[in-house]
């Protein structure tokens, strides 16, 4: 497969700002708020993300005024409203917020970690002493092999927390746990063709088919863990060499299986392998994002042509007011809805990843 030589035109910043504004307006749930945050960081403050150029994530400002205002607002609102042990006894004072999904609140942990570092220059500030504070331990973790979001939130946050540990042994401890979480989810959800089932063993819902958005979340989450591991010192990376190879391979197989099944205009269908389904914007954007990150992380650039076609198709579905069209419902995935908070963030992530890939190409 030949790589694309010239990029599809990027969205104008004025249009991208409208996409961001709509995403901020629509975001209510913990995972929606955190996805908006991460998308904006990857676009404008990549130094605070695992996809920063260079060998490390920059946590050097250590001053709250130096942080983006939207990160400060999210972290302060989260910490201010955090339920106490008296308000939510089952959480034992360790959850970041109340949520119907056990894993989603952990997605807010990275914002709180960066805020805590900037506030006190101490990873143990604001009671962030151990992973349980961020990982929502004891409140339904792994009670069912549920959706991809739970795995993404906890694995990515655990990996980021590991990066901030002061010694290699502590880093390896957290990264091994993040890797194991990815491994267990893949073991239960992966099909023989490389795609992942959406939900199995759920107490209220079963959806054992390859929903596009869930496969995008899985690939993106795995790559975020890999990107974080790649920021480790060489000694630590050598200890995790096989784990890192696995992560790259696992994300690749999802994107590869997807790229074989796109529509004539380059879109990914709501359920990837169902030819009667239409192309859907959210899953298309997130899976294309994963393809760009696969290239940036030096796993493979084979799927850049897929990513470029998908990005072009998605760009044509952004309305003048910034809303993304052709988005499916997140409760009844076989139905359409007027808007999607996470879809807005996926567009921003996609543009950020494409920019990073093409900038690196021009510099090499």
Answer for the pair 68, 114: CB distance below 8 angstroms, yes or no: no
What would you measure as the largest C-alpha separation in the chain, in angstroms? 59
CA angle 81, 86, 91 (to 5 degrees): 75
Distant-in-sequence, close-in-space partners of 106: CB < 8 Å, separation ≥ 6: 96, 134, 135, 136, 153, 154, 157
Beta-strand (E) ranges in the chain?
327-328, 336-337
What is the pTM for the complete model shown? 0.89
Question: Over 50: is that where the pLDDT of 268 sits?
Answer: yes
Q: Is residue 217 part of a domain?
A: yes
Question: Over 60: is that where the pLDDT of 41 sits?
Answer: yes
Question: Over 60: is that where the pLDDT of 271 sits?
Answer: yes
Read off the pLDDT band of 102 (50, 70, 90).
low
Report the mean per-residue pLDDT for the chain: 85
Counted domains in the chain: 1
Q: Is residue 4 part of a domain?
A: no
Q: Which residue has the tokens 């990513």?
A: 307
Q: Which residue segment(s) compose the domain that 278 sits in?
A: 13-44+60-363
The better pLDDT of the pair 233, 15 is held by 15
Structure tokens at 311: 């990005």
Q: Is residue 199 part of a domain?
A: yes
Q: Residue 190 belongs to a domain with what CATH number?
A: 1.50.10.10
Q: Is residue 3 part of a domain?
A: no
Structure tokens at 321: 């007011």
Distance from C-alpha of 294 to C-alpha of 49, rounded to nearest angstrom: 16
Q: Is residue 6 part of a domain?
A: no
The tens digit of pLDDT for each residue in 191-227 reads: 999 999 998 887 778 889 999 999 999 999 999 999 9
C-alpha to C-alpha distances, 298 to 216, 226, 344, 358, nearest whole angstrom: 19, 11, 27, 14
**3-class DSSP state for residue 6?**
coil
The tens digit of pLDDT for each residue in 317-354 reads: 999 999 999 999 888 888 899 999 999 999 999 999 99
The tens digit of pLDDT for each residue in 44-64 reads: 999 889 998 876 666 555 678
Question: Over 60: is that where the pLDDT of 248 sits?
Answer: yes
Q: Is residue 82 part of a domain?
A: yes
- What was the pLDDT predicted at 2? 39
Structure tokens at 153: 């939130």
Over range 224-238, report the average pLDDT.
90
* Torsion on CA atoms 147, 152, 154, 157, rounded to nearest 10: -160
């Amino acid at each position: 497969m030949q790589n694309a030589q010239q990029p599809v035109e990027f969205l104008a910043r004025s249009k991208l700002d409208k996409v961001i504004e709509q995403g901020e307006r629509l975001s209510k749930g913990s995972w929606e708020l955190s996805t908006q945050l991460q998308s904006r960081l990857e676009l404008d403050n990549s130094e605070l993300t695992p996809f920063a150029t260079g060998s490390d994530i920059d946590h050097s400002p250590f001053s709250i005024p130096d942080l983006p205002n939207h990160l400060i607002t999210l972290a302060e609102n989260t910490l201010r409203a955090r339920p106490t042990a008296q308000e939510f006894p089952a959480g034992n004072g360790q959850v970041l917020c109340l949520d119907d999904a056990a894993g989603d609140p952990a997605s807010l942990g990275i914002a709180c970690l960066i805020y805590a570092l900037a506030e006190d220059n101490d990873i143990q500030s604001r009671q962030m002493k151990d992973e349980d504070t961020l990982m929502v331990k004891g409140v339904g973790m792994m009670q069912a092999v549920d959706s991809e979001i739970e795995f993404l939130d906890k694995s990515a946050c655990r990996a980021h927390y590991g990066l901030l540990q002061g010694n290699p042994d502590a880093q390896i401890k957290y990264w091994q746990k993040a890797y194991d979480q990815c491994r267990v989810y893949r073991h239960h959800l992966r099909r023989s063709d490389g795609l992942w089932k959406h939900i199995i063993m759920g107490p209220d819902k079963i959806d054992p088919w390859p929903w596009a958005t869930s496969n995008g979340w899985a690939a993106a989450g795995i790559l975020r863990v890999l990107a974080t591991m790649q920021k480790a010192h060489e000694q630590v990376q050598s200890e995790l060499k096989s784990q890192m190879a696995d992560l790259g391979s696992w994300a690749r197989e999802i994107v590869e299986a997807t790229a074989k099944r796109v529509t004539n205009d380059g879109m990914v269908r709501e359920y990837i392998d169902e030819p009667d389904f239409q192309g859907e914007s959210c899953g298309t954007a997130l899976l294309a994002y994963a393809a760009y990150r696969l290239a940036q992380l030096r796993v493979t650039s084979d799927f850049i042509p897929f990513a470029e076609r998908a990005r072009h198709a998605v760009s044509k579905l952004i309305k003048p007011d910034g809303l993304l069209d052709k988005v499916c419902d997140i409760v009844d995935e076989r139905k359409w809805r007027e808007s999607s908070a996470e879809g807005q963030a996926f567009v921003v992530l996609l543009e950020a990843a494409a920019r990073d890939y093409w900038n690196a190409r021009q510099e090499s």
